[in-house]
Amino acid sequence: MLARRSLGILTAALATPFVTRAQAQTRWVMATAYPDGNYHTQNLRQFVREVEEGTNGRLAIQVHSNASLLPMPQIKRAVQTGQIQMGEILLAAYGNEDPFLEVDFIPFLADTWPRARALDEVSLPIIRQRLERQGIAMLYTANWPSQGFWTQREINRVEDLRGTRFRAQTAVLARMAELLGASPVTVQQAEVPQAFAAGIVNVMVTSAQTGVDTSAWDYTRYVYFVGFTLVRNAVIVNARAFAGLDEATRGVFRAAAARAAERGPGLAQESERTMTARLRQQGMNLPEPSAELLAGLRAIGERQVQDWAQRAGPEGQQMLERYRALIR
């Protein structure tokens, strides 16, 4: 009897460290809409690895890519309500909630890297505060490369886009479609090939990266890289879950997030070079946009800047004034 009792005590003692370690590990879930081959997802996975390594495995983050857990429109709300702890979103997709979230998608407002950095400087503190009011902490942002118009036929002026069915994944693009005389249609990235094949859309604005991700050569023939914008993704975390971590772990997050943000521009520019080359290899036509087309698009962009400032109110106007002072 004594031997059996001693064996039971020893077994319990040996099991205790294992139970403690298992209980000590925190497991989080993260959702992103982009495929694993996309540089945003690769940057994100490196960020996650650095967090897990920096916490010595005490925190594990399971990344669900390619909209396998949630479609893009649902990710922000899921993080906000605590359904998942983390997510990656296209900020401009939520412009209907807050115009500051879509400022980086105003056509030609910040269409170069120096201008994108200036826009970050004046807009990100405001965006961060506004997300915090919703229970969301923003960890880092990362830009997409410059955008192009993808079509099945040639376009030489803005009038050539009249009557088209225009993919509009943000409110800014929906407004642009209206100003062009096109019909805006909401189509998520994973659905783009089927939407073109079915005639639901026949024009879109996106980057070379997305063109390659969706094998655009199967459903379009022309892409006109017009600059347009360097729109941002944001990696976000539920503020309550983040506050529940110890300060050392939060420090690991912040340091890894800073490195991910620093990698972003280089990854975007490399993506633009390599993905554009891939498009050419696949037989896509990449003509230079005509001066008439660019002039027409920029005129629409100026109108959209004015529209945005009106919706954003005095704070938005002040932010634009600070931005313009930086880029002079």
Write the pLDDT tens digit of every residue in 85-119. Answer: 999 999 999 999 999 999 999 999 999 999 999 99
278 falls within a domain: yes
17 falls within a domain: no
CA 313/CA 37 separation, integer angstroms: 40
Residue 70 in 3-state DSSP? coil
201 falls within a domain: yes
- 16-72 pLDDT, tens digit each: 333 334 445 899 999 999 999 999 999 999 999 999 999 999 999 999 999 999 998
- 196-225 pLDDT, tens digit each: 999 999 999 999 999 999 999 999 999 999
With a cut of 80, say whether residue 6 has pLDDT above it.
no
The DSSP 8-state label assigned to residue 52 in this structure reads: H
9 falls within a domain: no
310 falls within a domain: yes
For 85-233, where are the alpha helices, taking DSSP H only? 113-132, 171-180, 192-197, 208-213
15 falls within a domain: no
With a cut of 60, say whether residue 141 has pLDDT above it.
yes
Strand blocks (E) in the chain? 26-31, 59-64, 86-90, 136-143, 147-151, 165-167, 183-185, 203-207, 222-227, 232-238
pTM value > 0.85: yes
- 165-196 pLDDT, tens digit each: 999 988 899 999 999 999 999 998 889 999 99
HSE-up of residue 241 (Cα within 13 Å, Cβ side): 24
Query: Is the CB of residue 195 less than 8 Å from the CB of residue 185?
Result: yes
Q: CATH no. for residue 74?
A: 3.40.190.170
Domain with 138 in it: 25-327
What length does the chain have?
A: 328
Domain count, the chain: 1
13 falls within a domain: no
Closest by Cα among 86, 92, 217 to 151: 217
